[in-house]
Amino acid sequence: MREVAVVGVGMTQFGMSEKTQIEMFSEAAMDAITESNIEPRDIQALFLGNGLGDFEEGQMNLAPMCAADIGMPNVPATRFEGACASATVAMRNACLWVASGFYDIVLTGGTEKAMAMGTPMATRTFAMGSDSRYEGFAGITFPGAFGMAAHLYSKKYGIPLQKLKEQMAMVAVKNHKNGVLNPKAQFRKEITVEKVLSGVVIADPLQLLDCCPFSDGAAALVFASVDKAKELTKKPIYIAGVGQGSAGPLYTQKDFTRIRARESAVKQSYMQAGVGPKDIDLCELHDCFTIAEILATEGLGFFEFGKGSQAVEEGKTSLNGEIPINPSGGLKAKGHPIGATGAAQAYEIVKQLREECGERQVKGAKIGMIDTLGGDLATVCNMIFRR
Amino acid sequence: MEYKLTYSKYKEALMSGKFCGLKCNKCGGYTVPPKKVCMECSSEDMDVVELSARGEIKTYTVIRVPPEGFDAPYIVSMVELDEGPWVMGNIVDLDPDKASMELIGKRVSIGHKAVKGDKFSAGDGVALAFKLEG
Ligand SMILES: [Zn+2]
pLDDT, chain B, mean: 97
- Same domain, yes or no, for B128 and B72? yes
The Cα A372–Cα A25 span in angstroms is: 19
- Same domain, yes or no, for B72 and B123? yes
Identify the pLDDT of residue A240: 98
Contact A132 B88 (CB under 8 A): no
Q: Which of A176, A211, A286, A336 is catalytic?
A: A336
- Same domain, yes or no, for B41 and B92? no
pLDDT grade, residue A171 (50/70/90)?
Answer: very high
Residue A214 has pLDDT above 90, yes or no: yes
Identify the pLDDT of residue A134: 98
Q: What is the mean pLDDT of residues A288-298?
A: 98
A336 is catalytic: yes
Cβ distance A49 to A66 under 8 Å? no
Residues of chain A found within 8 Å of residue B3, distances taken between Cβ atoms: none
- Same domain, yes or no, for B43 and B62? no
ipTM over 0.90: yes
Kindly report, residue by residue over A261-287, the tens digit of the pLDDT: 999 999 999 999 999 999 999 999 999
The domain total for chain B is: 2
Residues of chain A found within 8 Å of residue B86, distances taken between Cβ atoms: 251-252, 254
User: Is position B2 within any domain?
Assistant: no
Kindly report, residue by residue over A352-382, the tens digit of the pLDDT: 999 999 999 999 999 999 999 999 999 999 9
Q: Which candidate from B62, B70, B87 shows the least CB-CB separation from A251?
A: B87
A84 is catalytic: yes
The answer for A167, left when phi > 0, alpha when psi is -120 to 50, beta otherwise, is: alpha
Q: How far is A107 from chain B (nearest CA, A)?
A: 33
- Same domain, yes or no, for B39 and B81? no
Do strands A105-113 and B125-132 pair parallel, antiparallel, or not at all (unpaired)? Answer: unpaired
Asked if the A138-214+247-336+351-380 domain carries CATH number 3.30.420.10, the reply is: no
Identify the pLDDT of residue B115: 97
- Same domain, yes or no, for B36 and B100? no
pLDDT grade, residue A310 (50/70/90)?
Answer: very high
Kindly report, residue by residue over A31-60, the tens digit of the pLDDT: 999 999 999 999 999 999 999 999 999 999
Q: How far is A178 from chain B (nearest CA, A)?
A: 28
Kindly report, residue by residue over B41-84, the tens digit of the pLDDT: 999 999 999 999 999 999 999 999 999 999 999 999 999 999 99
User: Is position B63 within any domain?
Assistant: yes
Residue B95 has pLDDT above 90, yes or no: yes
Q: What's the CATH fold of domain A4-118+215-238?
A: Peroxisomal Thiolase; Chain A, domain 1 (3.40.47)
Domain borders along chain A are 4-118+215-238, 138-214+247-336+351-380
Residue B134 has pLDDT above 90, yes or no: no
- Same domain, yes or no, for B59 and B120? yes
Identify the pLDDT of residue B126: 97
Q: How far is A140 from chain B (nearest CA, A)?
A: 7
User: Is position B77 within any domain?
Assistant: yes
Q: Which domain holds residue B92?
A: 54-132
Strands (E), chain A: 4-11, 46-49, 77-80, 105-113, 201-203, 206-207, 216-225, 237-246, 282-284, 367-374, 379-386
Residue A13 has pLDDT above 90, yes or no: yes
- Same domain, yes or no, for B43 and B79? no
- Same domain, yes or no, for B121 and B58? yes
Which of A124, A137, A201, A214 has the highest number of chain B CBs within 10 A, making it the mutation to test binding with B?
A137
Q: CA angle, A373 as apex, A372 and A374 as ends, to 5°? A: 130
- Same domain, yes or no, for B43 and B66? no
State the CATH number of the domain containing residue B71: 2.40.50
Identify the pLDDT of residue A16: 97
Kindly report, residue by residue over A225-236, the tens digit of the pLDDT: 999 999 999 999
